[in-house]
């Protein structure tokens, strides 16, 4: 007779142990992230006047506004650069015309 019989609950128990190990690892990662975020929040609060930091929701909203404003300003800056380049080209053309003998 062979001893190759494996009890079905052993396989299930091994699967549960693997799942618990993975869940523990993921929980550890999330805990580290939370601790880091809490540390950053404390740092922001410490730097703020009066020791009270900005409301995170308001800070995120303000950040989104500033990022959008930055996009608009970058577009305006690109348009101004194009106009300056065009004006410089026209000026160079006019200067060449004025220096050539008539």
pLDDT in tens, 36-49: 999 988 887 787 77
Categorise residue 49: left if φ over 0, alpha if ψ from -120 to 50, beta otherwise.
Answer: beta
Kindly give the parts of the chain with pLDDT less than 70: 1-3, 51-54, 101-102
Instruction: Find out whether 54 and 48 touch, Cβ atoms under 8 Å.
Output: yes
pTM here? Answer: 0.43
């Amino acid at each position: 007779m062979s001893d190759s019989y494996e009890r079905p609950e052993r396989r299930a128990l091994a699967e549960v142990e693997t799942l618990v190990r993975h869940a523990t690892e993921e929980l550890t990662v999330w805990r580290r992230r939370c601790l880091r975020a809490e540390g950053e929040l404390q740092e922001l609060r410490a730097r703020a006047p009066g020791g009270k930091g900005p409301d995170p929701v308001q800070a995120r909203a303000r950040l989104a506004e500033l990022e959008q404003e930055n996009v608009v300003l970058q577009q305006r800056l690109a348009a101004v650069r194009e106009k300056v380049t065009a004006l410089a080209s026209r000026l160079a053309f006019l200067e060449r015309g004025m220096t050539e003998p008539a």
